Structure 1
Amino acid sequence: METERRALLGVDLPVVAAPMAGGPTTPRLVAAVGSCGAFAFLAAGYQPTETVAAEIAAARATGLPFGVNVFVPTPVPVDEAEFRRYAARIADEGRPYGLDLAAAPRTEDDDHWAEKIALLVHDPVPVVSFTFGLPPAAVLRDLQRAGSRVLVTVTDPAEAAAAADLGVDGLVGQSGHAGGHYGTFTPDSPAPVRPLAELVGLVRARTGLPVLAAGGVGGGADVRAALTAGATAVLVGTLLLRADESGANRTHREALVDPRRDRTVVTRAFTGRPARGLRNDFIDRYEADAPLGYPALHHLTRPLRRAAAAAGDADRVHLWAGTGYRAARAAPAAEIIEELSRPL
């Protein structure tokens, strides 16, 4: 696995900083992880292309290996009537912040897909990973010709087989215990939640490709279990949310250690796509009424989530977290990575 890891990622340590879109992943975090001999991903999701380019330049200046994660445009359309119904349903949540959610437009976009792919082809990075689906074959070929190794996030063996048939260089096997959005290709019928080691074994056996394991890691024992099951390396995201270099907001950081936040749940109430986070009042009030509808619901609730995070209102903001969230601690990222990488 060490030889495979070095060939795929160019590093020796088996722990990788996962891409966390929306703020937690910063160039400073990527540099800190790289400085201790591990690999880290930048998160291109929700970022303007110019910002992605600047972050790539900052990461490249360190001289350390890194990757970029991109969301594949796989919209989950919601019709206007259903969107308007849900916007009206949650409207009271926005009023304390001066937001008229009931009048919000229905926005369906592709997160600047073409511009980001053009950037990565013309300014290639060591590794590109995709989430939410398969990139077109032509995009895969262009990135590989540019010198990038390409990974796809998968949540079950069938998705893994489809990615292998496309010709990817490796896979990110994401368990349902992971924090944030599920990378499933089928958000209306996600794969059953499996233990991470079991998923790694199934995906590895089905494809023979290198597998980066992701989801629910709560400590070194989970890392070692995934490696024993055949993982090339193990991604951690939630465990880095409270790191010194993380860009996670204070509201999110404090919620991770709030004893009242006693569980994670899967919700589509914030973004219209299944995602795991700490249970809060917004989820309790609206999960049963929330339609599938990504990215329209993401854009609908985004102003509310930003305002609530700034105000310290943890009950109106998404608190993405995997099941290992209690192990997240405030410390330098390099210290967290090195601790997780220690052998038995």
Structure 2
Amino acid sequence: MNLLEQIGIGLPIIQAPMAGTSTPAMAAAVTDAGGLGSIAFGAVDAKGAEEMVRDLKARTDGPFNVNLFVHAAPSHDPGREQAWIEALTPLFHEYGAQPPTQLRAIYRSFVEPDDAMMAVLLEARPRVVSFHFGLPPAEKIAALKQAGFLLFSTATSLAEAGAARKAGIDALVGQGWEAGGHRGIFDPAGPDERLDTLSLTRLLAKEAGLPVIAAGGIMDGAGIAAALDAGAVAAQLGTAFVGCPESNADEGYRMALASDAAHHTVMVDAISGRPARCLGNRFTAWAEDNAALPRPGYPMVYDAGKALNAAAKAVGEYGFGAQWAGQGAPRSRPMPAAELVTLLARELEAARY
């Protein structure tokens, strides 16, 4: 039985669980159209996760993927954090707001003990549980496998793929350098090979010993076909779904995606504290001007960034949002998620046959 049959889907199309834009409505629409819909738990606590699952299951009884952040436990550096707040203070004042007095670790990592989140997962019964930024402890992997879930992990290199296979992961999401959103590299302070999606897919398909799902820059059926020809069993698309009406993207995000900014995505770490690809905006320009300023750890930087974005949005400025997008952004086609999946399937068939 191949991976798609194990999941229970008919199309090699997976909607990426982009925290901030993916929603239960989107996931349900993708699943019911024949792909695999996904929801993101990385930015919510157990209560929020439970509410998302309840919403999703009210919309579909099909398979779905739940994604978790598995970053290293945050380490506070008060001096660096205070310097960061001070550097951002003029921007807060520009929008009539005060910066936070200290930075918080606003997202909890799945490496930390979290019985409540594990209970939600076991009750939710997702077909797939996926990990981003790293791998959880062996006991959590064992518990999830014992429950019968398929486990996916992002891999940006062959070394990360080897660690995932050794840990018992069932499939790899090969994230190319083109991909929008957070770079899934396990150690953001270490070297990054920056492999493009197709090169990484070919490498992993040949040497990793696990099924590969290609991710990064894929926006249409021809892109999916290229990924399958490179050895992938499926393709994961994130930016392609940001413009869908079911997406949680705000007005400014949608306008930026439809503008010239789509042609100028950048990889920055000033929004959250980890490298992430997004549309060029006022925040990314500020980040470039302050490239030498040491970043506090993830997700403390995100705490400041979210507060600044909220202050700016309150007076109609959308240029400080986390407008995640991959290098395929200029080819975005806003339409309902189910229609997009159907179109992708038609394009895939045309490209392959």
Q: TM-score range by the shorter chain?
A: over 0.9
**What is the TM-score when the length of structure 1 is the normalising length?**
0.93
The aligned length equals 340
Alignment correspondent of 1:145: 146
Is 1:332 the counterpart of 2:336? The answer is yes
Is contact 1:19–1:43 with CA below 8 Å preserved after alignment?
A: yes
Q: CA deviation at 1:171?
A: 1.2
| Pair 290,8 (structure 1): closer, same or farther in 2 beyond 3 Å | farther
Alignment correspondent of 2:258: 257
Alignment correspondent of 1:212: 213
Give me the whole-angstrom Cα distance separating, in 2, the residues matched to 1:180 and 1:121. Answer: 27
Q: CA deviation at 1:5?
A: 3.2
Alignment correspondent of 2:91: 93
Give me the whole-angstrom Cα distance separating, in 2, the residues matched to 1:230 and 1:325. Answer: 24
| Superposed CA RMSD | 1.8
* Dislocated runs of 4+, deviation >6 Å: none
Corresponding residue SS for 1:128: strand
Give me the whole-angstrom Cα distance separating, in 2, the residues matched to 1:177 and 1:260. Answer: 15
Equivalent position amino acid for 2:25 in 1:
R
Output one character per residue of 1:83-115: Cα deviation in whole Å (capped at 9) or x when no partner. 1111101111112444322x4312235527413
Equivalent position amino acid for 2:332 in 1:
A
Q: List gaps (5 residues or longer) in structure 1.
A: none
Corresponding residue SS for 1:90: helix
**What is the TM-score when the length of structure 2 is the normalising length?**
0.91
Give me the whole-angstrom Cα distance separating, in 1, the residues matched to 2:6 and 2:136. Answer: 19
Q: Percent identity?
A: 36
Is 1:68 the counterpart of 2:66? The answer is yes
Give me the whole-angstrom Cα distance separating, in 2, the residues matched to 1:112 and 1:186. Answer: 14
Give me the whole-angstrom Cα distance separating, in 2, the residues matched to 1:28 and 1:109. Answer: 25
| Pair 189,196 (structure 1): closer, same or farther in 2 beyond 3 Å | same
Give me the whole-angstrom Cα distance separating, in 2, the residues matched to 1:40 and 1:67. Answer: 6
Give me the whole-angstrom Cα distance separating, in 2, the residues matched to 1:8 and 1:312. Answer: 47
Is contact 1:75–1:108 with CA below 8 Å preserved after alignment?
A: no
Q: CA deviation at 1:76?
A: 5.2
Alignment correspondent of 1:54: 51
Give me the whole-angstrom Cα distance separating, in 2, the residues matched to 1:178 and 1:310. Answer: 30
1:104 to 98, 101, 108: 101
Is contact 1:122–1:146 with CA below 8 Å preserved after alignment?
A: no
Give me the whole-angstrom Cα distance separating, in 2, the residues matched to 1:226 and 1:7. Answer: 19
Give me the whole-angstrom Cα distance separating, in 2, the residues matched to 1:320 and 1:179. Answer: 5
Is contact 2:72–2:109 with CA below 8 Å preserved after alignment?
A: no
Equivalent position amino acid for 1:13 in 2:
L
Equivalent position amino acid for 2:35 in 1:
A
Q: CA deviation at 1:79?
A: 1.4
Is 1:9 the counterpart of 2:7? The answer is yes
Q: CA deviation at 1:193?
A: 2.0
Alignment correspondent of 1:235: 236
Is contact 1:218–1:323 with CA below 8 Å preserved after alignment?
A: no
| Pair 239,260 (structure 1): closer, same or farther in 2 beyond 3 Å | closer
Q: CA deviation at 1:72?
A: 1.0
Matching of residues 1-344 of structure 1 within 5 Å: 3-22=1-20, 24-61=21-58, 62-75=60-73, 77-101=75-99, 103-108=100-105, 111=108, 113=110, 114=114, 115-260=116-261, 262-287=263-288, 288=291, 289-291=293-295, 293-309=297-313, 311-342=315-346, 343=349, 344=351
Give me the whole-angstrom Cα distance separating, in 1, the residues matched to 2:340 and 2:90. Answer: 40
Give me the whole-angstrom Cα distance separating, in 2, the residues matched to 1:239 and 1:327. Answer: 8
Equivalent position amino acid for 1:293 in 2:
G
Is contact 1:78–1:291 with CA below 8 Å preserved after alignment?
A: no
| Pair 280,236 (structure 1): closer, same or farther in 2 beyond 3 Å | same
Give me the whole-angstrom Cα distance separating, in 1, the residues matched to 2:257 and 2:198. Answer: 25
Q: CA deviation at 1:29?
A: 0.6
Corresponding residue SS for 1:108: coil
Equivalent position amino acid for 2:318 in 1:
A
Equivalent position amino acid for 1:177 in 2:
E
Q: CA deviation at 1:330?
A: 1.8
Q: List gaps (5 residues or longer) in structure 2.
A: none
Equivalent position amino acid for 2:85 in 1:
A
Equivalent position amino acid for 1:337 in 2:
V
Equivalent position amino acid for 2:335 in 1:
A
Is contact 2:261–2:280 with CA below 8 Å preserved after alignment?
A: no
Q: Which range is displaced more, 184-193 or 106-115?
A: 106-115
Give me the whole-angstrom Cα distance separating, in 1, the residues matched to 2:235 and 2:52. Answer: 23
Equivalent position amino acid for 1:71 in 2:
F
Give me the whole-angstrom Cα distance separating, in 2, the residues matched to 1:112 and 1:152. Answer: 15
Equivalent position amino acid for 1:233 in 2:
A
Give me the whole-angstrom Cα distance separating, in 2, the residues matched to 1:324 and 1:213. Answer: 14
